[in-house]
Amino acid sequence: MSIDFREVLDTVQMLEVEHFDIRTVTLGISLRDCASRLPQTVRARVYDKIRRTAAQHVRVADEISAQYGVRIVNKRISITPVSLIHDGGSVSDFVALGEALDAAAADVGVDYIAGYSALVDKGMTPGDRALIDSIPALMAATSRVCASVNCGSTRAGINGDAVSKMARAVRETARRTADKGSIGCAKLVAFCNAVGDNPFVAGAFHGIGEAEVVINVGISGPGVVLRTVRDLGPDADFGELAETIKRTAFKITRAGELVGRRCAEALREATSIPVQFGVVDLSLAPTPEEGDSIGDILIAMGLEDIGAPGTTAALAILTDAVKKGGLMASSYVGGLSGAFIPVSEDQAMIRAVERGHISIEKLEAMTSICSVGLDMIAIPGDTPEESIAGIMLDEFAIGMINNKTTSVRLIPVEGKDVGETVDFGGLLGRAPVMPVSKLRSPFSARGGRIPAPIRSLTN
């Protein structure tokens, strides 16, 4: 790969970049060879393989970060969805396996390990059911394990039974972690059309089509794009605006891919494990720091605030330009790739909620455009399961019909109501509790599977 990294970095620095970083270097590990009928054997194999494979991951990432002067914020691990290697386990067996994952992650020093997952868009095995039932206990007992469940897809439809179980898991996780602001729900996400090369938590897992060990990189860069949009000024037309964002995305993608390739190369040399470079995920990922915000970019594009007329169109320009710039920069683009709009992690989004300028319904409309879905949204602790399930069904319908990834990461904060705030700290930020419609939704309890859409009349 012929990239002069100094040239890339010089260009970024000329733009007076703020908050440019690599959000995560995620080591994907296949655990398919760890399967066994004996739960204790699975735990031992999984623990040993993660420790052996990821022992040098953090050290290598830190060395690459120092060498090139680019901060790598998080070092993470994603693994084969555990329901695929432990399908016969009971609830207690899954909890024990999750605790082994947490211990292995602590031993190798990563921030999070993701892949406590099940893929149930068409149906559930007994093991899938046990895994979902185990999530609340595990989220309360561990600090590094992240869980995800894929409940729907464009090809299969939406598994309503899985959605109901996930709504129940979210409510119970909130209750079990109530002493920490129901933070367990921040490590739990439900998907439609989940992807197997996503480096971001909580939804990362190592897909079944992946190589044995892979490095996937998640770039950041909202501050970079914000500065270029502000420098462009208000007189540029839509085409000029899109072209400017596209060129900026090109530059930061090139830097992100180089970091990923260097990490994979260094890991191969350090471990003799055939680590491959996988993808660079183009998603602009905000943080709670001022100036590192997707919302501020949208405001700089010409909105008075998030939620103003034109918000969804502005997000469409941003997301499309980021993808086009990234695809020009790299042949190995994957993951989610676009723009994240997590409420708690974006100061401009938080302010818009506090001012009453944005609602869950408007956020839902924006998710037809953005990378993922309803992300890191705090709701009242007494929100009923049927309402949570209904929100999931709505969001997954957007993903299913539009053949895109959508997700729901709701946090029903025990003991809090609309207008109050919960502070999670760190990159998770703080979230104002948003109102949820009081209208009942017994529709969500019908169960069964929502049929997959017909494609021949919609394309």
pLDDT digits (tens, 9 = 90+) for 172-216: 999 999 999 999 999 999 999 999 999 999 999 999 999 999 999
Contacts for 438 with CB less than 8 Å, ≥ 6 apart:
none
Q: Tell me the per-residue pLDDT of 132-141, one tens digit each, with 9 for 90 and over.
A: 999 999 999 9
Q: How confident is the model at residue 14 (pLDDT cuts 50, 70, 90)?
A: very low
Quickly count: other Cβ atoms within 10 Å of residue 360's Cβ. 19
Q: How confident is the model at residue 72 (pLDDT cuts 50, 70, 90)?
A: very high
Q: Tell me the per-residue pLDDT of 427-450, one tens digit each, with 9 for 90 and over.
A: 888 999 999 999 998 999 999 999
Predicted confidence (pLDDT) at residue 9 exceeds the cutoff of 70: no
Give residue 38's domain range: 1-459
Nearest C-alpha neighbor of 200 from the set 30, 85, 339? 339
More confident residue, 284 or 352: 352
CATH of the domain at 197: 3.20.70.20
Distance CA 275, CA 270 (A): 10
Q: How confident is the model at residue 71 (pLDDT cuts 50, 70, 90)?
A: confident
Quickly count: other Cβ atoms within 10 Å of residue 160's Cβ. 22
Average pLDDT, the chain: 92
Distance of CA 18 to the CA centre of its chain: 22
Q: What is the pLDDT averaged over residues 360-379? A: 94
**Measuring CA to CA, how many Å separate 321 from each of 47, 103, 219, 305, 326?**
42, 41, 15, 21, 8
Q: Pseudo-torsion of CA 331, 236, 350, 370, nearest 10°?
A: -30
Calculate helix-pair angle for 57-68, 238-271, nearest 10 degrees: 130
CA dihedral for 305, 307, 312, 316, sign (positive or negative): positive
Q: Tell me the per-residue pLDDT of 325-347, one tens digit each, with 9 for 90 and over.
A: 999 999 999 999 888 889 999 99
Predicted confidence (pLDDT) at residue 122 exceeds the cutoff of 60: yes
pTM of the entire predicted model: 0.94
What's residue 282's pLDDT?
A: 87
Q: How many domains does the chain have?
A: 1
